[in-house]
Copies of this chain bind each other. A is one copy, B any other.
Amino acid sequence: MPGDTLIASLAAIVGDEHVITVAAEMVPFLGDWRGRYRGAARCIVRPANTAEVAAVVRACSAVGVAMVPQGGNTSHCGASIPDNSGQSVLVSLSRLNRIRDLDVPNNTMTVEAGCVLQEIQAAASREGRLFPLSLAAEGSCQIGGNLSTNAGGVQVLRYGNARELVLGLEVVLPSGEIWNGLRGLRKDNTGYDLKQLFIGAEGTLGIITAAVIKLFPQPNAVATAWLAIASPQDAVTLLGKLQAGFGAGLTACELVSDISLGMVLRHIPEAQAPLERSPWYLLVELSSSGDADALRVQFEDFLGDAMEAALVNDAVIAQSGEQAARLWDLRERISEAQKIEGFSIKHDISVPVSRIGEFLDRAGDALNAAYPGIRIVAFGHVGDGNLHYNQSKPEAGENASFMASQTDVNRIVHDIVHTLGGSISAEHGIGQLKREELQRYKSAIELDMMRAIKQAFDPKGLMNPGKVL
């Protein structure tokens, strides 16, 4: 069988101990953390460096074997799980985990794909710098995956998506050639911006092996508050006022519905409501390179004015970093709490910020009409127009019947998103999960352009097949 020859070739490249073929040892690589996808592979190969990745790609390409790159395996969409054929090779990037360079005056760091996000944040922090990409999986996700999926997170409002945090890339192309595009330049207008193609391509055009990422000064002061508000429309109005008042000092603005908070309070033992219950809440974080007391006074003044204008009903500013962390916990543990409530249907959507209220009204009405008692768990990044718009089964309902309604619920939500000029995947990507939906909502002309690029870069179709396109 050609597999045997290929496995021998791969072992010759990376060493026997880094080619995993024993089924039990392959298990952690072949399923996703949400338990939705389980695939099979010929083997797991764990190259140690870029040259080995390139040799692995050449070996697989030579015999026409598909490759599935995998980082921390934290995808929401099954992007790093192979299909069931058992024919592909899973390429784990975890051993490429060196920080190659940290250039403090240039505010850049050169990192390999397998570096864990949290370790990158820590390395920046040790030099008094901030790498602002921050998301729930940061303790295990890897930067190669973050870039391949153009990860978002809670600080996009201020610092942009992963795409905007990259100055250069090193990529192993489907041909097995290495593209060294590791430039640390803030301006470079010498032709097409090729790195943008690989960022967000979910490994379908090549394997990102290293990147030059941007660092920022650490803010000197951070102030965090929990606001009780009446409606998402008020959240959008407050967002505008916060932007006018604090500019880039507004580093997070998270909307949370009371149903979401209720689930956290019910299931997370240490969780406490910071204020009396309210239909909606806003978690606001301000950062400043100036004085902490001045920031706090400015924030209190702002909140006083907002309460007088009846935009905010009540508010609490965290008195310590620990208290701020507890407020953030209420926001970040919603998914965990919702899971305990039974089967849920999730959407990661975005709309123009100006249409958030309209989206929530229309989608809420449509879902309540179709599924009386459905519980809508809505929260997310209001400044980005990005909502995690999830549904739990009615309290008295059955998991099975709710699961059966998934396609229909997706259709109701995504059709409204599409009508409002929104996106059916704001920050999680497409992977396997939304491939069919993409075909439905993307224009033919846009799909054609994507296919033309895929064909130009990967004519044999061996890079992460069955994902995105």
Residue total for A at the interface (Cβ-Cβ under 8 A): 97
Which residues on B sit within 8 Å (CB–CB) of A386?
A: 186-187
Structural contact, A240 and B163, CB atoms closer than 8 A: no
Structural contact, B354 and A190, CB atoms closer than 8 A: no
Which residues on B sit within 8 Å (CB–CB) of A240?
A: 104-105
Structural contact, B187 and A152, CB atoms closer than 8 A: yes
Structural contact, B353 and A423, CB atoms closer than 8 A: no
- CA A294 – CA B216 in complex, angstroms? 23
Q: Please tell me which stretch of A22-30, A306-314, A331-339, A438-446 contacts chain B, meaning at least 4 of its Cβ atoms lie within 8 angstroms of it.
A: A438-446
Decide yes or no whether A392 CB sits under 8 A from chain B. Answer: no
Q: How far is the CB of A286 from chain B (nearest CB, A)?
A: 11
Among B107, B181, B354, B425, point to the contact of A189 (Cβ < 8 A): B425
Structural contact, A457 and B452, CB atoms closer than 8 A: yes
Q: How far is the CB of A445 from chain B (nearest CB, A)?
A: 5
Decide yes or no whether A351 CB sits under 8 A from chain B. Answer: yes
Q: Please tell me which stretch of A44-52, A241-249, A319-327 contacts chain B, meaning at least 4 of its Cβ atoms lie within 8 angstroms of it.
A: A241-249
Structural contact, B191 and A469, CB atoms closer than 8 A: yes
Which residues on B sit within 8 Å (CB–CB) of A163?
A: 193
Question: A186-B385, A244-B217 are known contacts. Are A106 and B443 too (CB-CB below 8 A)?
Answer: no
Decide yes or no whether A254 CB sits under 8 A from chain B. Answer: no
Decide yes or no whether A369 CB sits under 8 A from chain B. Answer: no
Q: Please tell me which stretch of A34-42, A66-74, A172-180 contacts chain B, meaning at least 4 of its Cβ atoms lie within 8 angstroms of it.
A: A172-180
Among B178, B287, B385, point to the contact of A187 (Cβ < 8 A): B385
Q: Please tell me which stretch of A2-10, A111-119, A135-143, A195-203 contacts chain B, meaning at least 4 of its Cβ atoms lie within 8 angstroms of it.
A: A195-203
Decide yes or no whether A183 CB sits under 8 A from chain B. Answer: yes
Among B178, B199, B290, B381, point to the contact of A193 (Cβ < 8 A): B199
Structural contact, A423 and B469, CB atoms closer than 8 A: no
Structural contact, A197 and B187, CB atoms closer than 8 A: no
Decide yes or no whether A53 CB sits under 8 A from chain B. Answer: no
Decide yes or no whether A194 CB sits under 8 A from chain B. Answer: yes
Structural contact, B188 and A193, CB atoms closer than 8 A: no
Structural contact, B289 and A187, CB atoms closer than 8 A: no
Q: How far is the CB of A358 from chain B (nearest CB, A)?
A: 11
Structural contact, B290 and A354, CB atoms closer than 8 A: no
Mark contacts of A225-251 with chain B using CB atoms, 8 A cut-off: 1 yes-contact digit, 0 otherwise: 000000000001101100111111100
Structural contact, A445 and B196, CB atoms closer than 8 A: no
Structural contact, B423 and A188, CB atoms closer than 8 A: yes
Decide yes or no whether A403 CB sits under 8 A from chain B. Answer: no
Decide yes or no whether A149 CB sits under 8 A from chain B. Answer: yes
Q: How far is the CB of A189 from chain B (nearest CB, A)?
A: 5
Which residues on B sit within 8 Å (CB–CB) of A430?
A: 189-191
Decide yes or no whether A108 CB sits under 8 A from chain B. Answer: yes
Structural contact, B468 and A191, CB atoms closer than 8 A: yes
Which residues on B sit within 8 Å (CB–CB) of A422?
A: 185
Decide yes or no whether A288 CB sits under 8 A from chain B. Answer: yes
Most central of A183, A200, A236, A247 by chain B CB within 10 Å = A247
Q: How far is the CB of A457 from chain B (nearest CB, A)?
A: 7
Which residues on B sit within 8 Å (CB–CB) of A193?
A: 150, 163, 196-197, 199-200
Structural contact, B188 and A350, CB atoms closer than 8 A: yes
Which residues on B sit within 8 Å (CB–CB) of A288?
A: 247
- CA A149 – CA B187 in complex, angstroms? 12
Decide yes or no whether A404 CB sits under 8 A from chain B. Answer: no
Q: How far is the CB of A127 from chain B (nearest CB, A)?
A: 11
Most central of A177, A248, A354 by chain B CB within 10 Å = A248
Which residues on B sit within 8 Å (CB–CB) of A457?
A: 449, 452
Question: A194-B446, A200-B193 are known contacts. Are A426 and B187 too (CB-CB below 8 A)?
Answer: yes
- CA A428 – CA B266 in complex, angstroms? 58
Question: A105-B354, A219-B247, A385-B106 are known contacts. Are A192 and B185 too (CB-CB below 8 A)?
Answer: no
Structural contact, A187 and B427, CB atoms closer than 8 A: yes
Mark contacts of A341-354 with chain B using CB atoms, 8 A cut-off: 1 yes-contact digit, 0 otherwise: 00000000011111
12 pairs, A vs B, C-beta closer than 8 Å:
A179-B445, A185-B385, A186-B384, A187-B384, A190-B425, A190-B438, A190-B441, A193-B196, A193-B199, A219-B247, A452-B457, A453-B456
Known A104-B354, A187-B385, A192-B205; further 17 A-B contacts with Cβ < 8 A? A105-B240, A106-B352, A177-B445, A181-B446, A186-B350, A191-B438, A191-B446, A191-B468, A192-B449, A247-B249, A247-B287, A247-B289, A249-B289, A449-B457, A453-B453, A453-B456, A455-B456
